[in-house]
Amino acid sequence: MAEPFLIGDRMTGGYGGADILHGCTVAVEKGEIAVIVGPNGAGKSTAMKAVFGMLNVHAGAVRLNGEDITRLSPQARVAKGMAFVPQTHNIFTSMTVEENLEMGAFLRRDDISGTIDEVYRLFPILKEKRRQAAGELSGGQRQQVAVGRALMTRPSVLMLDEPTAGVSPIVMDELFDRIIEVARTGISILMVEQNARQALEIADKGYVLVQGRNAYTDTGRALLDDPEVRRTFLGG
Ligand SMILES: Nc1ncnc2c1ncn2[C@@H]1O[C@H](COP(=O)(O)OP(=O)(O)O)[C@@H](O)[C@H]1O
Ligand SMILES: [Mg+2]
């Protein structure tokens, strides 16, 4: 069986004290959507940081397109085609929407205007508000800025930590539709979601993490249909 496009393979590590991740594995295939769910404090954000190189992983490995990138810095991973939208502080609130997008392209030396246009096509409201400070936007619009900023490097993998946190169900559905659209362009999506049920609906692959370990791994559909997963993690 071929290796997934991106894999955090049996990662063990933490923030310097006791380990938070214990042999945790998450992965995503090319152009697919993988979703990580689980209770608060399960280590979902920590697993994302580990995959992005923000954590000391002292056992296990991270591989992208077959290449071992375990020792690369986050910035080197960006250069390899990875983009990460963290759970908090993911935009520059005092800068305009367009300045945020420009900041996202900091590694590029070529013309970025085409990519800005693509982001505006995906999120038309951002074009309307491009001269406004990002901090003045609604929660859902800010998340669009954060995703748009991440797309500015033209990544092959987009990692999102709770992109729908604090938005209404309608805005959540819209964001998920846009995320599906991004995946259809061939970009792999690895995301953490608190709205587990809705996220698993759009997931090719789902990971349920508990206390830094893989509790269940299957297709999104199979997890939604698993009575044990439903009862324990999806509220019945
Ligand atoms: N920067 C940090 N330093 C030390 N411990 C942390 C840090 N961030 C998170 N933790 C701890 O790691 C565990 C997992 O947290 P986290 O990955 O944020 O969980 P989740 O995203 O699943 O809610 C928690 O016990 C949390 O207290
Ligand atoms: Mg988290």
Average pLDDT of the residues in 91-101: 97
What pLDDT score was predicted for residue 2? 81
pLDDT, greater one: 107 or 173: 173
pLDDT tens, residue by residue, 24-60 = 999 999 999 999 999 999 999 999 999 999 998 999 9
Query: Domains (ranges, CATH) in the chain?
Result: 1-81+190-236 (3.40.50.300)
Residue with the smallest CA separation from ligand 1 atom 9 is: 46
Residue with the smallest CA separation from ligand 1 atom 17 is: 43
User: Range with the lowest mean pLDDT among 70-74, 108-112, 205-209?
Assistant: 108-112
Res 108 pLDDT > 90? no
pLDDT tens, residue by residue, 185-224 = 999 999 999 999 999 999 999 999 999 999 999 999 999 9
What pLDDT score was predicted for residue 1? 60
Average pLDDT of the residues in 148-162: 97
Q: 114-123: which pairs have CB atoms within 8 A and are 24 or more residues apart?
A: 115/151, 115/152, 115/154, 116/152, 118/151, 119/148, 119/151, 119/152, 122/148, 122/151, 122/178, 122/181, 122/182, 123/147, 123/148, 123/178
Mutation pick for ligand 1 pocket among 19, 22, 44, 45 (CB with most ligand atoms within 8 Å): 45
Res 106 pLDDT > 90? no
Question: What is the average pLDDT score of the chain?
Answer: 96
Res 163 pLDDT > 90? yes
Res 236 pLDDT > 80? no
If you measure from the C-alpha of residue 220 to the centroid of ligand 2, how many angstroms do you get, rounded to a whole number?
A: 20
